[in-house]
Structure 1
Amino acid sequence: MITIYGMTNSGNCYKPRLLMAKLGRPFRHVEVNSDDRGTRSKEFAAKNPNAMVPLMEFEDGRLLAESNAMLLHLGEGTRFIPQDSYERALAYQWLFFEQYSHEPYIAVRRALLTFPNRKADATPERLEATMERGNKALLVMEMRLSEASFFAGETLSVADVALYAYTHVAAEGGFDLSAYPAVTDWLGRVESDPGHVPMDWLP
């Protein structure tokens, strides 16, 4: 059985759990928390020298880091990777967008405001910058979702799983999702897809 090391309240760690649930694949969850420096323990660093979660361990001992790499691996051969080459490229495009233009602002602002160990980093300047860039990312998403049901076409893909993870809790970072009706409607479509589970769900 696959083991996923991660934090229950992390969107990045939620991504592979959510996709595994939608695929109906069993896995084992092992809580490894950065707050108590569990990610920097000697045992965990031996598995992932980058000292970050999530981390996926396969039955044969092979390891895979980076949440979006996990989505691509788990989604291979399923409905979550588009068969059309252009739509597949779109899914990759939005995965890169999520990590470069979305997660560093929406996820980070949420962490600054809700994680006790990040409060010292929540300077007015950083909060303002993450709000500005986060809203820019939401506007880009709004424009795309005003013309398509999902990010890589008309069916849900790994791109939607990746972007859902932190968008659905963006309000915890102070973002007003009511300003983005197409994004709000899309959240509902993702949640109505079979096998959906909340962020705090564990197998």
Structure 2
Amino acid sequence: MKLYSMPSSGNSYKVRLLLALLGRAVEIVDVEDNSAEIQRAKSDGMLPFGKAPVLMLDDGRLLPESNAILGFLGEGTAFVPADPFARATMNGWMFWEQNQHEGTVAVRAALLNYAHRRHLATPERLADLLERGHANLQIMETRLQAHDWLAADAVSLADICLYGYTHSAGSRGGFDMARFPGINRWIERIASLPGYKGLSE
């Protein structure tokens, strides 16, 4: 398999993380944002939706969208709960991640860390993203104050999915992670999983 991956992106990272935890071999093609490599991948038709990550299967089929890739790779593994309700709960967290969490936590980090986006980082927008991002992180905190994992009694795709941008929300997005001890304990649990690799590994 081949993974077209944006090195600095939480969406790409969560796929790389799951592959590492599963011990699956994959060729990584780095396509950083605003680079010649990502433009080439787009021109070659490797990014159907115009963005990374995209997983190319051994037969050449292309699978875009990070959470769709997680679902594909997680099929039949311990990262997908056997119980139907737990599995649906996992999916709910993953839908929420793309619909709510990413739009605040990831967007604020992008505005602060990508030079070509900084012109969009007005004080008003950054303040709004900070407030709404803290509210989204509090949703996670409420769950993780009482449970080790987001969707079930063991780590699932929901945890890998939300870890992608949450673990760097403080360092890259300027969020006050001291407010969220439950999240911080959860971050440590994921980082201790066998096979774990960090964002830059």
Aligning the two structures, in what range does the TM-score lie when normalised by the shorter sequence?
Answer: over 0.9
SS in 1 for 2:199: coil
CA apart distance, 1:47: 2.5
> RMSD in angstroms over aligned alpha carbons?
1.3
Find the aligned partners of 1:49 and 1:145 in 2 and give their Cα distance. 36
Could you tell me which residue of structure 2 aligns to residue 21 of structure 1?
20
Q: Is the 8 A contact 2:48 2:64 kept in 1?
A: no
Could you tell me which residue of structure 1 aligns to residue 190 of structure 2?
190
Q: Which runs of 5+ in 1 are unaligned?
A: none
Q: Normalized against structure 1, the TM-score is what?
A: 0.94
Q: Is the 8 A contact 1:110 1:173 kept in 2?
A: yes
Q: Is the 8 A contact 1:45 1:51 kept in 2?
A: no
- Counterpart AA for 1:117: H
Question: What is the 5 A alignment of 1:1-203?
Answer: 2-36=1-35, 38-41=37-40, 44=43, 46-171=45-170, 172-201=172-201
Find the aligned partners of 1:136 and 1:31 in 2 and give their Cα distance. 33
Find the aligned partners of 1:194 and 1:54 in 2 and give their Cα distance. 23
SS in 2 for 1:16: helix
May I ask how many residue pairs the two structures share in their alignment? 200
Residue by residue over 1:60-90, the C-alpha shift from the partner in whole angstroms, topping out at 9 and shown as x without a partner, is: 0000000000101000100000001110011
Residue by residue over 1:16-64, the C-alpha shift from the partner in whole angstroms, topping out at 9 and shown as x without a partner, is: 1100000001000001122225434475452224210001101100000
Q: Which runs of 5+ in 2 are unaligned?
A: none
Q: Is the 8 A contact 1:150 1:160 kept in 2?
A: yes
CA apart distance, 1:134: 0.5
CA apart distance, 1:12: 0.4
Q: Normalized against structure 2, the TM-score is what?
A: 0.95
